[in-house]
Structure 1
Amino acid sequence: MTRHHHRPMQPGDRFFEAVESGGDPASVREAGDQAATVLVRGARESGDPRVAERVLHLAEEEGIETIAEVWSGAPADTLAGCLWRLFVLRQWVHNEPSEVAREFAAGRSAQVARVVAGVADPPGPDQLRTMIDEVLRGIAGSDFADVLFRAAAFARVVATGRAHLDRDPRQVLQLAEQLEEAGHAELRHGLV
């Protein structure tokens, strides 16, 4: 049998550039987890009302999208995973306020609707943006479990509305369930 020998591949400069520019996935995830902990635990402990505003507007002012991208792979029962879900919920409401308001209005007859305080009846796009921002301000100013339960209630109402409008409610319902379960976990032992 004849064996053909070939020279082993030599990595070029591009190979090393890719290795050097990429982060260690474990280190990146750890940094994302630490950032989530600081945002949730540190913001509340600061006692400074301006912190709530900074947390709320990190996406616009501080470039939180990069950290949020790291959070996107985090399990739903972690601080990072919860912040990812809250970030997505806020972005969705701000990007599609009219549609979300329509779905919320269609689902407001749900029992859970009364849990979401501060929403006009019927809610318009501006009222929903204000409401979701108030919920997220709670990250810095109130119990994190309350934030999760309020966001879950909002998502559940929207999921009900989507079902009434013959739209697929599964993703929004799954989000509601994940946030609610995380709220219970936060009450039991505190999320990490």
Structure 2
Amino acid sequence: MSTNPVHYSSGSVNSAHPGFAPARTGSSRPARPAQLDPALTEKMAGGMDPEEINEMSHASAQAMLDRVHHTQDPQIVERVLTLVDREGVDIIAELWSRSEPDSLPGILWRLYLLRTWMRKNQRSLASLYRIAEPEDTAASAIAGVDTPPTAEDIVHTADSILSGAFTGDFAVALERASAFIDVIAKGLAIRAKMLTGQARKVEAEQAARREAHMRDLQREVEAAEAAEAAQQVADEASDHSDTQNGNDNDNRGTAYGDTDRNEPAANRYNSALHDADDRYRAGKGPASSAGPASNDPRTVAARLLHTGSNLMTTSADFRHGASLWRQGKLE
């Protein structure tokens, strides 16, 4: 599943930040233009009073649901199911996206978004479902997804959930939607746990390489100190002239490869140790394989958990909507 990841500004889903946005790839606007009544479209584009939009959203949602429930015409059912595909998500959003999640238009908006999201991300969702299904068999049974699901099974489930809302028991359709999201959220949590485990393994390998590198530098320091001590003994026993001694000092400076000939070799290696440590901590040293922050396993894991958390909010909205529907309070 794509890890792009997700932001929300209300309980679950709204027009600007849909709860299913993390797996979105590209624009959510379908290629076909809107086909609503031109007069209605023009009025909406010109700006409607929020109260008028609210009244229209409730009336349109109730009328559409009632019409489909009382029709036997499969063409009408098909047109309702593909409403977003034909009309464009922006115009549908204008009607329903501002509605509260405990209202009929708000729930219908989320159902349409769920279908669009599932169809767009069928492969990644199938993969997540296969990961989570063994650990969440109860939710999987309610969702009614063939296991192990293929990408085509996800598409079929998306259509059946939405069609069930219009042609079957509305509350059952909402519970299926909620259960499906629960399984996907579980899959995201499992994937995040896997990434965290991989991150720990990589970090342990990096630490081991760093320690080996530091040990190599320490051995070089000790060798340099021994060489310097031996050279000092040799200097004390030498009967060379002052000029020759000066030349010897120059040669030693050149041998240690440092422009500052007066700095002891051990000090120079100690500086190298500190420099290597600083570079490692900054992610720049040879012992670090850290890439861009967006590819860091822990960062990706955090994003997956954030996505799962917000999806669970949408799942709760569907369950609450099912309860309200059974009580006759979802309007």
Q: How does 1:1-192 map to 2 (within 5 A)?
A: 21-63=46-88, 65-109=90-134, 110=136, 111-117=138-144, 119-166=145-192, 167-168=304-305, 169-192=308-331
Question: Which deviates the most, 106-115 or 74-83?
Answer: 106-115
Alpha carbons of structure 1 residues 65 and 39: separation in structure 2 relative to 1, 3 Å? farther
Normalising by structure 1, what TM-score? 0.83
1:179 is matched by which residue type in structure 2? Answer: F
Q: Secondary structure at the match of 2:48?
A: coil
Question: Aligned-residue CA RMSD in angstroms?
Answer: 1.7
Question: How far did 1:65 drift?
Answer: 3.9
Retained in 2: the 8 A contact 1:52–1:138?
no
Question: How far did 1:163 drift?
Answer: 0.9
Retained in 1: the 8 A contact 2:140–2:179?
yes
2-structure distance, mates of 1:190, 1:26: 20
1:156 is matched by which residue type in structure 2? Answer: D
Q: Which runs of 5+ in 1 are unaligned?
A: 1-19
Q: Which runs of 5+ in 2 are unaligned?
A: 1-44, 193-303
2:130 is matched by which residue type in structure 1? Answer: A
Compare CA radii of gyration and give the structure with the larger one.
2
Question: Which deviates the most, 178-187 or 41-50?
Answer: 41-50
Retained in 2: the 8 A contact 1:49–1:141?
no
Q: Secondary structure at the match of 2:146?
A: coil
Q: Among all aligned residue pairs of Structure 1 and Structure 2, give the percentage whose two residues are the same amino acid.
A: 28
2-structure distance, mates of 1:69, 1:22: 10
Retained in 1: the 8 A contact 2:57–2:99?
no
Question: How far did 1:187 drift?
Answer: 0.4
Alpha carbons of structure 1 residues 56 and 65: separation in structure 2 relative to 1, 3 Å? farther
1:164 is matched by which residue type in structure 2? Answer: I
Give the number of equivalent residue pairs. 172
Retained in 2: the 8 A contact 1:43–1:52?
yes
